[in-house]
Amino acid sequence: MIQVSGLTRVYGSTVGVEDLNFEVGDAEIFALLGPNGSGKTTTLRLMTGMISPTNGYVSVDGTRTDQLKLLPEIHRKIGILPEVPGHYENLSAYRNLQFYGRMYGMSDDAIESRTKDLMVEFELWDKRDSPVATFSKGMKQKLAILRTVMHDPKYVFLDEPLSGLDPESSKFVRDYMKSLKENGKTVILSTHDLDDADKLSDRVAVIRNRLLAIDSPSALKAQAFKRTVVFHIESIRGLDLKEIEAMAFVNSARISKDSLVMEVDSPEKNNPDITAYLVGKGFRIQFIGEIRRSLEDVYLSIVEKSKEGKL
């Protein structure tokens, strides 16, 4: 388990992150979500002991990452994918992986079999002897992810792992992350892609130099918004919005083209009453729907509120 407590990092006069508190459990996919400069990389570097906190601490399975003596011990059980892949471009893909295997104290036999398995799985085996400089951006990213899991770490930290990947590779990497989780590994990733966070993660922490929200994607969506219903009406002219807004269960109402859009407490209970009212006024309802909020809406609203100082 990873515990983050009061975690703060200041760079000169710039706040990287401030007072983060959360825990990441075992076999969880945990996403740090935030706009550029929100402190995702800073948080990952702090969590992995790569930089030291100004305040607060991180502990990995009970060991604090700011105990420099114990850092090698911690690093043996975590893998880190930095923002930039960072290969030795002149050396072959295989040599790069071999070097890392040795850095983790793996035997050459173990390196050989592990590298082969992974390179075949990642479809890089044919390219093992080519210098990494000849690889495409996506191939470099895949090789870097492979390097990150070479030593079979329990915790896998990935800084924007899907950036620069085409849809096919991106799906491959997402599936790979899920398979890590199925094998009991914990994946902690940063992203500003809401879709990825939504599809992939068990929990999302939305940060903007502070922790704005943390929960499962579905719970975040439920918290951030009241449910919104839409009534499409054949001709909406003559509708009195004031009367609609006066209904007790309607939180807000507006007209958009030929539709009436309302935030209501409970569509199941309220839709029949609204229907009865509209029919009574002679409106012809064509269909009724509910707007499903994406994590993107949630995220934008959370970040917007934090900018306005409401969070």
Partner 1 sequence: MNFSLVREMMRKDFQEVRRNGYVFYSLLLLPILLVAVSVIDSLAIALSTSGQSRALLSTFSTIMVFIPAIVTSLIGSTSVILEKNNHSLEPLLATPITDSELFAGKALAPLSVGILLSWVAFTLYIVVMDALTYGHLGYLLFPTDLTLVQMFFLAPVTGMLGTFLTLLVSSKMKDVRAAQQVSALVVLPLLLLLFLPIVASGADLIINFVAGVGFLVAALIIFFVSVKAFRRETILISWGK
Ligand X SMILES: Nc1ncnc2c1ncn2[C@@H]1O[C@H](COP(=O)(O)OP(=O)(O)OP(=O)(O)O)[C@@H](O)[C@H]1O
Which of 9, 17, 41, 212 touches Mg ion by CB under 5 A?
41
Closer residue to partner 1 in complex, CB, 152/296: 152
How many residues belong to the site for partner 1 (CB under 8 A)? Answer: 35
Residue partners of 253: CB distance under 8 A and separation at least 6: 241, 244, 245, 260, 261, 262, 263
Tell which one of 40, 114, 142, 147 touches partner 1 (CB under 8 A). Answer: 147
For residue 67, state whether it binds partner 1 (rule: CB under 8 A).
Answer: no
Q: How far is the CB of 124 from partner 1 (least distance, A)?
A: 17
Nearer to ligand X, 115 or 190 (CB): 190
**Which residue type sits at 71?**
L
Task: Please identify which residue in 2, 20, 38, 93 interacts with ligand X, judged by CB under 6 A.
Answer: 38
| Residue 274: C-alpha distances to residues 245, 255, 286 (Å) | 11, 14, 14
- Upper half-sphere CA count for residue 195 (Cβ side, 13 Å): 5
Q: Residue from 34, 39, 56, 79 that binds partner 1 (CB under 8 A)?
A: 79
| Positions in 192-231 near ligand X (CB under 6 A) | 192
Pairing of strands 78-81, 155-159: parallel
The encoded tokens of residue 110 equal 């173990």
User: In this structure, are residues 258 and 264 in contact, taking their beta carbons and an 8 Å threshold?
Assistant: no
CA separation (Å) from 46 to 2, 18, 67, 220, 274? 12, 12, 12, 25, 52
User: What are the residue ranges of helices labelled H in the chain?
Assistant: 40-47, 71-76, 93-103, 108-121, 137-149, 167-182, 194-200, 217-224, 241-245, 267-280, 295-307
102 binds partner 1, rule: CB under 8 A:
yes
- Give yes or no for residue 57 binding partner 1 (CB under 8 A): no
Q: Is 189 in the site for partner 1 (CB under 8 A)?
A: no
Q: 68-90 burial by CB neighbour count: b if 16+ within 10 A, else e?
A: eeebeebbeebbbbbeebebeee
The site that binds Mg ion (CB under 5 A) totals a number of residues, namely: 2
Asked if residue 75 binds partner 1 (CB under 8 A), the reply is yes
In the numeric block, the tokens 């306005």 are attached to 308
Report, in Å, the least distance between residue 239 CB and partner 1: 59
Under rule CB under 8 A, which residues in 31-50 are in contact with partner 1? 45, 48, 50
39 binding ligand X? (CB under 6 A) = yes
Residue 43 touches Mg ion, criterion: CB under 5 A? no
* Residues near ligand X (CB under 6 A): 11, 14, 16, 34, 36-42, 192
* Residues near partner 1 (CB under 8 A): 11, 45, 48, 50-52, 68, 71-73, 75-76, 78-82, 84-91, 95, 99-100, 102-105, 144, 147-148
